[in-house]
Structure 1
Amino acid sequence: MMGTTDESMYNYDLSAKGSLDLFLRSLFSATFTDRLSGGPLHVYRLRLHGQSWEPICHRDVLKAYADYYDDYDEEKTLFLIFNSAKIFDPVYSDDLKSFFRAYGEIDIAHRVAHIPIAKNTGFYFHRLVCKTAEDATRIHDHVKKGGGPHGLDLSKVPVLLREFPDGVFFHTMQPTLRLYVNRCSKRLLQVIRDSVSTK
Protein backbone atom coordinates (compact mmCIF):
# COMPACT_ATOMS: atom_id res chain seq x y z
CA MET A 1 0.00 0.00 0.00
CA MET A 2 1.32 3.43 -0.88
CA GLY A 3 0.94 6.31 1.54
CA THR A 4 -0.97 9.54 1.12
CA THR A 5 -0.18 12.87 2.73
CA ASP A 6 -0.78 16.58 2.56
CA GLU A 7 1.80 18.37 0.42
CA SER A 8 2.16 21.05 3.11
CA MET A 9 3.69 18.46 5.49
CA TYR A 10 6.68 17.89 3.19
CA ASN A 11 9.89 19.86 3.56
CA TYR A 12 12.98 19.26 1.44
CA ASP A 13 15.18 19.76 4.52
CA LEU A 14 13.44 17.19 6.72
CA SER A 15 15.71 15.33 9.14
CA ALA A 16 15.87 11.53 9.07
CA LYS A 17 13.57 11.43 12.11
CA GLY A 18 11.18 13.93 10.55
CA SER A 19 11.14 11.97 7.30
CA LEU A 20 10.31 8.74 9.11
CA ASP A 21 7.48 10.45 10.96
CA LEU A 22 6.14 11.82 7.66
CA PHE A 23 6.30 8.37 6.04
CA LEU A 24 4.45 6.76 8.95
CA ARG A 25 1.82 9.51 8.98
CA SER A 26 1.42 9.03 5.25
CA LEU A 27 0.97 5.27 5.51
CA PHE A 28 -1.42 5.56 8.42
CA SER A 29 -3.44 8.22 6.60
CA ALA A 30 -3.80 5.79 3.71
CA THR A 31 -5.50 3.27 6.01
CA PHE A 32 -8.47 5.64 6.14
CA THR A 33 -9.02 5.20 2.42
CA ASP A 34 -8.05 1.55 1.96
CA ARG A 35 -10.73 -0.89 3.08
CA LEU A 36 -8.27 -3.79 3.14
CA SER A 37 -5.78 -2.12 5.49
CA GLY A 38 -4.81 -3.55 8.83
CA GLY A 39 -1.69 -4.71 10.55
CA PRO A 40 1.83 -3.31 10.57
CA LEU A 41 3.16 -0.30 8.67
CA HIS A 42 6.47 -0.95 6.93
CA VAL A 43 8.95 1.71 5.86
CA TYR A 44 11.86 0.78 3.58
CA ARG A 45 14.69 2.71 1.97
CA LEU A 46 15.15 1.97 -1.71
CA ARG A 47 18.81 1.90 -2.66
CA LEU A 48 20.13 3.62 -5.76
CA HIS A 49 18.77 2.12 -8.98
CA GLY A 50 16.35 -0.02 -6.94
CA GLN A 51 18.89 -2.80 -6.48
CA SER A 52 18.03 -3.44 -2.83
CA TRP A 53 15.60 -2.56 -0.06
CA GLU A 54 16.66 -1.63 3.46
CA PRO A 55 14.05 -2.01 6.21
CA ILE A 56 13.81 1.17 8.30
CA CYS A 57 10.79 0.75 10.53
CA HIS A 58 7.91 -1.62 11.26
CA ARG A 59 5.12 -0.18 13.38
CA ASP A 60 1.83 -1.78 14.34
CA VAL A 61 -1.13 0.18 13.05
CA LEU A 62 -2.68 0.36 16.53
CA LYS A 63 0.42 2.12 17.85
CA ALA A 64 0.36 4.45 14.85
CA TYR A 65 -3.30 5.20 15.56
CA ALA A 66 -2.41 6.13 19.14
CA ASP A 67 0.53 8.26 17.97
CA TYR A 68 -1.53 10.20 15.40
CA TYR A 69 -4.93 10.01 17.08
CA ASP A 70 -5.29 13.77 17.40
CA ASP A 71 -4.89 14.21 13.63
CA TYR A 72 -8.38 12.78 13.06
CA ASP A 73 -11.92 13.76 14.01
CA GLU A 74 -13.11 11.40 16.72
CA GLU A 75 -16.61 12.88 16.57
CA LYS A 76 -17.10 11.31 13.12
CA THR A 77 -15.61 7.94 14.03
CA LEU A 78 -17.12 4.82 15.55
CA PHE A 79 -15.32 1.67 16.72
CA LEU A 80 -16.91 -1.66 15.81
CA ILE A 81 -16.05 -5.23 16.77
CA PHE A 82 -17.58 -8.57 15.89
CA ASN A 83 -16.64 -12.19 16.32
CA SER A 84 -15.38 -13.57 13.03
CA ALA A 85 -15.84 -17.10 14.39
CA LYS A 86 -19.60 -16.52 14.16
CA ILE A 87 -19.77 -15.67 10.47
CA PHE A 88 -20.49 -17.83 7.45
CA ASP A 89 -19.12 -15.46 4.80
CA PRO A 90 -16.65 -12.56 4.94
CA VAL A 91 -18.04 -9.17 5.97
CA TYR A 92 -16.83 -6.46 3.60
CA SER A 93 -16.72 -2.71 4.13
CA ASP A 94 -19.52 -2.16 1.61
CA ASP A 95 -21.69 -4.57 3.61
CA LEU A 96 -21.25 -2.48 6.76
CA LYS A 97 -21.85 0.79 4.92
CA SER A 98 -25.05 -0.57 3.35
CA PHE A 99 -26.29 -1.98 6.66
CA PHE A 100 -26.04 1.37 8.48
CA ARG A 101 -27.01 3.60 5.52
CA ALA A 102 -30.58 4.10 6.76
CA TYR A 103 -29.20 5.81 9.87
CA GLY A 104 -26.11 7.64 8.62
CA GLU A 105 -23.59 7.86 5.81
CA ILE A 106 -20.25 6.11 6.28
CA ASP A 107 -17.26 7.18 4.20
CA ILE A 108 -14.89 4.43 5.31
CA ALA A 109 -15.41 1.08 7.00
CA HIS A 110 -12.50 -1.29 7.42
CA ARG A 111 -10.64 -3.60 9.75
CA VAL A 112 -7.87 -1.85 11.64
CA ALA A 113 -5.93 -4.66 13.31
CA HIS A 114 -5.01 -7.78 11.34
CA ILE A 115 -5.08 -10.05 14.40
CA PRO A 116 -7.84 -10.78 16.96
CA ILE A 117 -8.02 -8.11 19.63
CA ALA A 118 -8.99 -10.27 22.59
CA LYS A 119 -7.36 -13.43 23.89
CA ASN A 120 -8.80 -16.71 22.61
CA THR A 121 -11.52 -14.99 20.57
CA GLY A 122 -12.21 -14.16 16.96
CA PHE A 123 -13.04 -10.51 17.67
CA TYR A 124 -11.61 -8.05 15.17
CA PHE A 125 -11.50 -4.27 15.42
CA HIS A 126 -13.07 -2.14 12.68
CA ARG A 127 -13.31 1.62 12.23
CA LEU A 128 -16.34 3.39 10.78
CA VAL A 129 -15.60 6.94 9.62
CA CYS A 130 -18.85 8.78 8.96
CA LYS A 131 -19.42 11.76 6.70
CA THR A 132 -20.44 13.93 9.65
CA ALA A 133 -20.53 13.80 13.43
CA GLU A 134 -24.32 13.76 13.17
CA ASP A 135 -24.17 10.59 11.06
CA ALA A 136 -22.02 8.93 13.72
CA THR A 137 -24.46 9.94 16.44
CA ARG A 138 -27.48 8.59 14.55
CA ILE A 139 -25.77 5.26 13.87
CA HIS A 140 -24.67 4.91 17.48
CA ASP A 141 -28.16 5.79 18.72
CA HIS A 142 -29.58 3.06 16.46
CA VAL A 143 -27.12 0.53 17.85
CA LYS A 144 -27.97 1.49 21.43
CA LYS A 145 -31.60 0.61 20.74
CA GLY A 146 -30.44 -2.93 20.01
CA GLY A 147 -29.61 -3.42 23.66
CA GLY A 148 -26.74 -5.17 25.34
CA PRO A 149 -24.92 -8.42 24.53
CA HIS A 150 -27.97 -10.72 24.55
CA GLY A 151 -27.57 -13.85 26.62
CA LEU A 152 -23.92 -13.24 27.47
CA ASP A 153 -22.62 -13.55 31.01
CA LEU A 154 -20.46 -10.43 31.15
CA SER A 155 -18.34 -11.97 33.88
CA LYS A 156 -17.19 -14.58 31.34
CA VAL A 157 -16.69 -12.47 28.22
CA PRO A 158 -13.43 -10.74 27.31
CA VAL A 159 -12.87 -7.50 29.21
CA LEU A 160 -12.82 -5.71 25.88
CA LEU A 161 -16.41 -6.69 25.10
CA ARG A 162 -17.55 -4.92 28.26
CA GLU A 163 -16.39 -1.71 26.58
CA PHE A 164 -18.97 -2.33 23.83
CA PRO A 165 -22.24 -2.60 25.77
CA ASP A 166 -24.47 -2.03 22.73
CA GLY A 167 -24.93 -4.11 19.63
CA VAL A 168 -27.27 -4.97 16.76
CA PHE A 169 -27.77 -8.15 14.79
CA PHE A 170 -26.48 -8.01 11.25
CA HIS A 171 -29.87 -9.22 10.08
CA THR A 172 -29.61 -8.19 6.44
CA MET A 173 -26.54 -10.35 5.86
CA GLN A 174 -25.97 -12.84 8.68
CA PRO A 175 -28.81 -12.91 11.24
CA THR A 176 -26.77 -14.56 14.01
CA LEU A 177 -23.87 -12.10 13.81
CA ARG A 178 -23.92 -9.29 16.35
CA LEU A 179 -22.10 -6.02 15.65
CA TYR A 180 -20.88 -4.16 18.74
CA VAL A 181 -20.36 -0.42 18.31
CA ASN A 182 -19.10 2.38 20.52
CA ARG A 183 -17.97 5.96 20.09
CA CYS A 184 -14.35 6.50 19.23
CA SER A 185 -12.14 7.70 22.07
CA LYS A 186 -8.46 7.69 22.95
CA ARG A 187 -9.24 5.73 26.13
CA LEU A 188 -11.08 3.00 24.22
CA LEU A 189 -8.26 2.79 21.69
CA GLN A 190 -5.86 2.21 24.58
CA VAL A 191 -8.11 -0.56 25.94
CA ILE A 192 -8.03 -2.21 22.51
CA ARG A 193 -4.24 -1.89 22.31
CA ASP A 194 -3.89 -3.40 25.79
CA SER A 195 -6.13 -6.32 24.85
CA VAL A 196 -3.82 -7.12 21.93
CA SER A 197 -0.59 -6.69 23.90
CA THR A 198 -1.77 -9.08 26.61
CA LYS A 199 -2.65 -11.91 24.19
Structure 2
Amino acid sequence: MTQPNAGGEQQSGDAGQARGRMRYQDDSTAPREPTLAEKRARIAAEKRQEEQAQAALAEQESKTQKRRRVMVGGGVTVGVVALVAAFYSGSAYSAEQNAVHEYCAAEKQGQVADDPNLCDENYVQSHGGYSSGGMMFMPIFLPGTNIPSGQMNSYRYGYTQPGAPAPTPGSSVPAGSSFNKPADANIKNSKGQTVQRGGFGISNKSGSSGS
Protein backbone atom coordinates (compact mmCIF):
# COMPACT_ATOMS: atom_id res chain seq x y z
CA MET A 1 0.00 0.00 0.00
CA THR A 2 1.35 3.42 -0.94
CA GLN A 3 0.66 6.83 0.62
CA PRO A 4 1.35 10.22 -0.87
CA ASN A 5 4.10 12.25 0.90
CA ALA A 6 4.31 15.98 1.33
CA GLY A 7 5.58 16.35 -2.27
CA GLY A 8 2.82 14.21 -3.65
CA GLU A 9 5.09 11.21 -4.05
CA GLN A 10 3.92 7.79 -3.05
CA GLN A 11 5.76 6.01 -0.19
CA SER A 12 5.32 2.37 0.54
CA GLY A 13 4.12 1.31 3.96
CA ASP A 14 7.06 -1.10 4.39
CA ALA A 15 9.61 1.71 4.06
CA GLY A 16 7.81 3.81 6.68
CA GLN A 17 7.66 0.91 9.04
CA ALA A 18 11.43 0.25 8.58
CA ARG A 19 12.34 3.78 9.65
CA GLY A 20 10.32 3.54 12.89
CA ARG A 21 11.62 0.11 14.00
CA MET A 22 13.76 -0.17 17.26
CA ARG A 23 16.93 -2.20 17.35
CA TYR A 24 17.86 -4.39 20.36
CA GLN A 25 21.28 -5.79 21.39
CA ASP A 26 21.19 -9.48 22.31
CA ASP A 27 23.72 -11.53 24.33
CA SER A 28 25.69 -12.43 21.29
CA THR A 29 26.67 -8.81 20.67
CA ALA A 30 30.34 -8.05 21.60
CA PRO A 31 30.72 -5.42 24.42
CA ARG A 32 31.90 -2.00 23.37
CA GLU A 33 35.54 -1.18 24.08
CA PRO A 34 35.91 1.64 26.66
CA THR A 35 37.07 4.91 25.26
CA LEU A 36 40.44 6.44 26.13
CA ALA A 37 38.76 8.93 28.46
CA GLU A 38 36.97 6.12 30.32
CA LYS A 39 40.23 4.19 30.69
CA ARG A 40 41.98 7.25 32.11
CA ALA A 41 39.08 7.89 34.51
CA ARG A 42 39.19 4.28 35.74
CA ILE A 43 42.98 4.41 36.24
CA ALA A 44 42.65 7.70 38.14
CA ALA A 45 39.93 6.25 40.39
CA GLU A 46 42.02 3.17 41.16
CA LYS A 47 45.01 5.39 41.96
CA ARG A 48 42.92 7.52 44.35
CA GLN A 49 41.67 4.40 46.13
CA GLU A 50 45.23 3.11 46.52
CA GLU A 51 46.43 6.47 47.87
CA GLN A 52 43.53 6.59 50.36
CA ALA A 53 44.31 3.05 51.54
CA GLN A 54 48.00 3.92 52.01
CA ALA A 55 47.10 7.11 53.91
CA ALA A 56 44.75 5.19 56.22
CA LEU A 57 47.42 2.56 56.85
CA ALA A 58 50.04 5.23 57.64
CA GLU A 59 47.65 6.99 60.04
CA GLN A 60 46.87 3.73 61.82
CA GLU A 61 50.59 2.92 62.14
CA SER A 62 51.27 6.41 63.52
CA LYS A 63 48.53 5.98 66.17
CA THR A 64 49.94 2.58 67.11
CA GLN A 65 53.43 4.03 67.57
CA LYS A 66 52.07 6.89 69.72
CA ARG A 67 50.18 4.45 71.94
CA ARG A 68 53.30 2.32 72.26
CA ARG A 69 55.40 5.34 73.26
CA VAL A 70 52.79 6.40 75.80
CA MET A 71 52.66 2.90 77.29
CA VAL A 72 56.44 2.62 77.41
CA GLY A 73 56.74 6.09 78.93
CA GLY A 74 54.09 5.27 81.52
CA GLY A 75 55.83 2.04 82.36
CA VAL A 76 59.15 3.85 82.80
CA THR A 77 57.51 6.47 85.02
CA VAL A 78 55.84 3.84 87.18
CA GLY A 79 59.09 1.93 87.39
CA VAL A 80 61.04 5.00 88.48
CA VAL A 81 58.40 5.96 91.06
CA ALA A 82 58.37 2.43 92.43
CA LEU A 83 62.16 2.40 92.60
CA VAL A 84 62.30 5.75 94.42
CA ALA A 85 59.53 4.68 96.79
CA ALA A 86 61.34 1.42 97.53
CA PHE A 87 64.57 3.33 98.12
CA TYR A 88 62.99 5.76 100.59
CA SER A 89 61.02 2.99 102.26
CA GLY A 90 64.15 0.92 102.69
CA SER A 91 66.06 3.94 103.96
CA ALA A 92 63.32 4.77 106.47
CA TYR A 93 63.32 1.18 107.69
CA SER A 94 67.10 1.25 107.98
CA ALA A 95 66.93 4.54 109.92
CA GLU A 96 64.46 3.00 112.38
CA GLN A 97 66.58 -0.10 112.84
CA ASN A 98 69.72 2.01 113.38
CA ALA A 99 68.14 4.66 115.59
CA VAL A 100 70.14 6.24 118.39
CA HIS A 101 68.43 6.37 121.81
CA GLU A 102 68.75 9.50 123.90
CA TYR A 103 68.74 9.09 127.69
CA CYS A 104 69.44 11.23 130.73
CA ALA A 105 72.54 10.19 132.65
CA ALA A 106 73.75 11.07 136.14
CA GLU A 107 77.27 11.76 135.01
CA LYS A 108 79.12 11.30 138.32
CA GLN A 109 77.34 8.05 139.17
CA GLY A 110 77.64 6.66 135.65
CA GLN A 111 74.00 5.62 135.76
CA VAL A 112 70.89 6.33 133.75
CA ALA A 113 68.76 8.81 135.69
CA ASP A 114 65.50 7.58 137.10
CA ASP A 115 63.77 10.74 135.87
CA PRO A 116 64.52 11.86 132.27
CA ASN A 117 63.24 15.35 133.20
CA LEU A 118 66.51 15.92 135.08
CA CYS A 119 68.04 16.70 131.68
CA ASP A 120 65.28 19.18 130.78
CA GLU A 121 66.48 22.74 131.27
CA ASN A 122 63.04 24.19 132.09
CA TYR A 123 62.35 21.43 134.60
CA VAL A 124 65.74 21.84 136.28
CA GLN A 125 65.43 25.62 136.60
CA SER A 126 61.93 25.31 138.02
CA HIS A 127 63.33 23.04 140.76
CA GLY A 128 66.20 25.27 141.89
CA GLY A 129 68.83 24.03 139.48
CA TYR A 130 70.62 25.58 136.55
CA SER A 131 72.26 24.62 133.26
CA SER A 132 75.80 25.25 132.04
CA GLY A 133 77.65 23.95 128.99
CA GLY A 134 74.95 21.43 128.13
CA MET A 135 74.90 20.02 131.66
CA MET A 136 72.08 20.30 134.18
CA PHE A 137 72.85 20.84 137.85
CA MET A 138 70.27 19.90 140.46
CA PRO A 139 70.60 20.46 144.24
CA ILE A 140 70.71 17.35 146.38
CA PHE A 141 67.89 17.37 148.92
CA LEU A 142 68.33 15.91 152.41
CA PRO A 143 66.41 12.68 152.87
CA GLY A 144 62.91 13.26 154.24
CA THR A 145 63.07 17.04 153.83
CA ASN A 146 62.69 19.69 151.16
CA ILE A 147 65.98 21.31 152.19
CA PRO A 148 68.88 20.99 149.75
CA SER A 149 72.10 19.63 151.20
CA GLY A 150 74.17 22.25 149.44
CA GLN A 151 75.59 19.79 146.96
CA MET A 152 74.68 19.48 143.28
CA ASN A 153 74.26 16.52 141.02
CA SER A 154 75.06 16.91 137.34
CA TYR A 155 73.04 15.40 134.51
CA ARG A 156 73.40 15.39 130.77
CA TYR A 157 72.05 13.59 127.74
CA GLY A 158 73.77 10.44 126.60
CA TYR A 159 73.37 8.64 123.28
CA THR A 160 73.55 4.94 122.56
CA GLN A 161 75.31 3.44 119.61
CA PRO A 162 73.15 3.15 116.44
CA GLY A 163 70.80 0.19 116.70
CA ALA A 164 71.46 -0.38 120.40
CA PRO A 165 68.40 -0.75 122.66
CA ALA A 166 67.27 2.07 124.94
CA PRO A 167 68.73 1.71 128.46
CA THR A 168 66.46 1.27 131.46
CA PRO A 169 66.30 3.91 134.24
CA GLY A 170 68.76 3.22 137.07
CA SER A 171 70.95 0.96 134.95
CA SER A 172 74.58 1.64 134.17
CA VAL A 173 75.41 3.86 131.25
CA PRO A 174 75.56 1.56 128.19
CA ALA A 175 79.00 0.68 126.88
CA GLY A 176 79.95 2.59 123.77
CA SER A 177 77.62 5.48 124.59
CA SER A 178 78.58 9.05 123.91
CA PHE A 179 77.64 12.40 125.44
CA ASN A 180 78.09 14.07 122.05
CA LYS A 181 74.88 14.34 120.09
CA PRO A 182 75.17 12.72 116.62
CA ALA A 183 74.69 15.38 113.96
CA ASP A 184 73.12 13.12 111.31
CA ALA A 185 71.25 10.31 113.02
CA ASN A 186 67.72 9.25 113.75
CA ILE A 187 67.37 9.95 117.49
CA LYS A 188 64.57 8.80 119.79
CA ASN A 189 63.95 9.98 123.34
CA SER A 190 63.05 7.89 126.40
CA LYS A 191 59.36 7.94 125.33
CA GLY A 192 60.17 6.46 121.93
CA GLN A 193 59.46 9.76 120.17
CA THR A 194 61.71 10.90 117.34
CA VAL A 195 63.49 14.08 118.37
CA GLN A 196 65.80 14.23 115.36
CA ARG A 197 65.53 12.75 111.90
CA GLY A 198 68.72 11.96 110.09
CA GLY A 199 69.64 10.70 106.67
CA PHE A 200 69.90 12.16 103.13
CA GLY A 201 71.85 15.09 104.57
CA ILE A 202 68.76 16.49 106.35
CA SER A 203 68.51 16.88 110.09
CA ASN A 204 65.27 17.83 111.82
CA LYS A 205 66.14 18.64 115.43
CA SER A 206 63.61 19.20 118.18
CA GLY A 207 62.87 18.49 121.79
CA SER A 208 66.21 17.84 123.52
CA SER A 209 68.98 20.15 124.65
CA GLY A 210 71.82 17.65 124.71
CA SER A 211 75.20 18.65 123.37
TM over 0.5: no
| TM-score (norm. length: structure 2) | 0.21
| TM-score (norm. length: structure 1) | 0.22
